Amino acid sequence: MKINLRVVTPEKIAFEGEIDQISIPTGKGQITILPKHISLVSTMKHGELIIKSDEKEILMAVYGGFVEIRKNKMTVMTDIAERMEEIDEAKAEEARKEAQQRLLRKDQMSDVAFADTVAILEKSLARLKVAKRKHTRHL
């Protein structure tokens, strides 16, 4: 028994296929879904998707969205989904530093700029979290 998974973003289908299990960062915390899970709809935070299928592991950075599971069919809707291999770690690190620097001067920022910077920070953190795994794994 497997789960039929689709990871979709407005720009592409990032993943499609049969998998054994998946861990997702929901609004309430990380959960792992196994086949025969109850029908579920949940919000998703930024973080990492860990997809396991046939002993293989696929890691993706996702940024917000929704998860829907129904009868072993699962759809992950997110704004951005990047595979570990696609992530440019140096760039993400740079973006994180830049965002943190800017947040230090937050009293001079407008609400919108503040929200934008926090969003950039969260995004780069999600990317970095996934990218860091590269070093502990052989691909």
Partner 1 sequence: MQSTRYIRRQIQSTKNTAKITKAMEMVSAAKMRKSQEAALIARPYAEAALKLLGNISNSVESKKDYPLLMERKVEKICLLVATSDKGLCGGLNSTILKEAVKIISENQDKEISLITIGKKAEKFFRGKQNILAVFENIGDTVELGETLPISKMLMDDFLGEKYDRVIAVYTNFVSTLKQEAKVKNLLPVTEESFKETLDEMGRDEKGRTKKMVDNTEYLFEPSAEEVLKYLLPALVETQVFHVILESNASEHSARMVAMKNATDNAKELLEDLKLSYNYARQQKITQEMTEIAAGVTAQEG
Sequential DSSP letters for 14-81: EEEEEESEEEEEETTEEEEE-TTPPPEEEEE-SEEEEEEETTEEEEEEE-SEEEEEETTEEEEEES-E
Residue 139 lies near partner 1 (rule: CB under 8 A): no
Q: How far is CA 133 from the centre of its chain?
A: 14
Question: Taking a C-beta distance cutoff of 8 angstroms, is the pair 19, 52 a contact?
Answer: yes
C-beta of 137: minimal distance to partner 1 in Å?
29
Site string for partner 1, 30-59 (x = CB under 8 A): --------xxxxxx----------------
Considering only 2, 70, 97, 106, the residue that binds partner 1 (CB under 8 A) is 70
Q: Which of residues 80-99 bind partner 1 (CB under 8 A)?
A: none
Judged by the rule CB under 8 A, the positions of this chain that interact with partner 1 are 6, 8-13, 26-28, 38-43, 64-66, 68, 70-71, 75, 77, 79
